Amino acid sequence: MQLRTAVVMLLLGLPAPALAACNVLVSTSGVLARTGDSTVLSSESGVPSVIVISGFLNPAISLSNPRLESWPSGFDWTSATVEASYSAVWTLGSSNGGYSSGTQSFTAGIGLAVTLTLNNRVTAPGGFRQGAYTTKTTISCS
């Protein structure tokens, strides 16, 4: 009996829990293409990725770990730099970030959804070997 009372008191004393995790939907997949500078592959020359983030309440959104996931044999991946840039809009607000290989964050205001346009860029001083390349950037919200 005492235990049940304690549990009830515990339940009443806790703050209201946060909403469940936000939804991250990739609406448009990004495509990398060679730029006029043959040492750069960029989605700005190809197709930027468009992501819709919804189902949140004042989320902190971060972009992190832009990285090269796959490359053709013979490519000197150790000399390559991968960066991400973004442009985000939501009701009555926006945020932008230039190319960075680190983590970038912003906090969206109350709104139904955030539309995030994400670009990836790979810079390789020695150029690119013929073949397929894949990059990834992690988007998280909390």
Interface residues with other proteins (CB under 8 A) are 3-4, 7, 10-11, 14-15, 17-24, 26, 29-34, 38-39, 41, 43, 46, 49, 51, 69, 72, 118, 120, 126-142
**Shortest Å, Cβ 64 to other proteins:** 9
Task: Single out the residue of 63, 105, 112 nearest to residue 90, CA to CA.
Answer: 112
CA distance 22 to 77: 34
**Shortest Å, Cβ 92 to other proteins:** 23
The H or E element containing residue 57 is none
Task: Single out the residue of 53, 51, 60, 52 nearest to residue 18, CA to CA.
Answer: 60
How far apart are the two ends of the chain, measured CA to CA in Å? 38
Q: Which is nearer to other proteins, 52 or 93 (CB)?
A: 52
**Shortest Å, Cβ 43 to other proteins:** 6
Q: Which is nearer to other proteins, 109 or 129 (CB)?
A: 129
**Shortest Å, Cβ 14 to other proteins:** 6
**Shortest Å, Cβ 47 to other proteins:** 9
CA distance 105 to 27: 20
Q: Which is nearer to other proteins, 107 or 138 (CB)?
A: 138
CA distance 28 to 39: 25
Q: Which is nearer to other proteins, 24 or 93 (CB)?
A: 24
Lookup: tokens for 14: 């806790």
Q: Which is nearer to other proteins, 109 or 126 (CB)?
A: 126
